[in-house]
Structure 1
Amino acid sequence: MRSRQRERDRRRSPTAERHADSLRLALMEVAPAGLKKTRLMAVTELSRSQLVRGLAAYRELAGEKGWPPLVWSAADGYHFCLDADALEEWERQWADVKFTQISRVITGVLAPHARLFPKSRWVQYIVAQMNAVQSALDMIARPQTQ
């Protein structure tokens, strides 16, 4: 676990961390409202690519530094969310999107690969792992009510 954390820290540049902090400060000023991407770029004076790297760095740093969760919605743009129900709904939607993406990889890439090379240990392993991920995402996105 620590080696993964060190590797992630090496990949994240100090510049990306500065961009993340700029985003945090800009959003703190307008909280609880949010900012759409173009307005956030204007306020922070970041380019589109800098914004993308800053958002990725923010998500990595949020847990480490105790920053509030950052989510995006069509209505509010990027904003901090401290409502448990709203966060759960966002997480379910995120899991549903990833479920769809994983499903498409399985059916469009892995299944044809498995048909071409049915004895490949690699493809058997990756199909099993991706099916497990797909199942977990499905359970997150669509929990069974009791």
Structure 2
Amino acid sequence: MARRALPPNVSGQRVRVALMEARPTGLHMHQLIRASELTRSQVRRGISYLRDTATELDLTPLIWDRRHGYRFSADPEDWAAYELRQFRKELSFIRRIVTGCVLPHQQQRPEDKAVKLMLGQLNGIESSFEYLIMQLETARKTA
């Protein structure tokens, strides 16, 4: 029997309750599914909802790491480590787009204006992320 779709705020509330009950430890996806009695997609939708509304709901940041899973941490060092990991992940993603798609596109169609625009913008984004990561790493070392 198929489950009916829950609104994101309902999924988010059930995920939030499960994570609050698990504090200060976190829950991995399979634990969140069991604790919230939601499907994997409903848990993901709930996590997205919580991340989108964390400020409005006055929550501490919702972070994830391999050791603890998803959790609301009160430790700013945990937040900084999570943020740094996210920026590194996005930088890797951008680099893969460039090397796996945009550069081969450029090799095949060197005069394509769209590929020139993409490369220019993506190079700027890559530089910005590299600089941001460098600054965050320096700030963490001096803190």
Q: TM-score, normalised by structure 1?
A: 0.82
Report the counterpart of residue 140 of structure 1 in structure 2.
Answer: 132
1:46 counterpart = 2:50: no
Q: 1:145 to 1:69 in 2, by over 3 A?
A: closer
Find the partner of 1:119 among 81, 87, 111.
111
Question: What is the rounded CA distance, in whole Å, between the counterparts of 2:111 and 2:56 in structure 1?
Answer: 43
RMSD value over aligned CA atoms? 2.0
Asked if the contact 2:6/2:42 (under 8 Å) is kept, the reply is: no
What is the aligned-residue identity percentage?
A: 29
Residue in 2 that maps onto 1:130:
122
Structure 2: state its 5+ residue gaps: none
The DSSP-based 3-state class of the residue aligned with 2:90 is helix
Would the aligned equivalents of 1:92 and 1:142 in 2 still touch at CA under 8 Å?
no
The one-letter code of the counterpart of 1:45 is E
Gaps of 5+ in 1: 1-12
Separation in 2 of the partners of 1:96 and 1:122?
26
- The count of residues paired between Structure 1 and Structure 2 equals 134
**Normalising to structure 2: TM-score of the pair?**
0.83
**Aligned partners of 1:100, 1:16: CA distance in 2, in Å?**
29
Alpha-carbon shift at residue 139 of structure 1 (Å): 2.1
- 1:59: which partner in 2? 51
Query: Where in structure 2 are the equivalents of 1:1-146 lying within 5 Å?
Result: 15-143=7-135, 145=138
Contact 1:36 1:76 in 2 (8 A): yes
For the residues of structure 2 that align with 1:65 and 1:37, how far apart are their CA atoms? 22
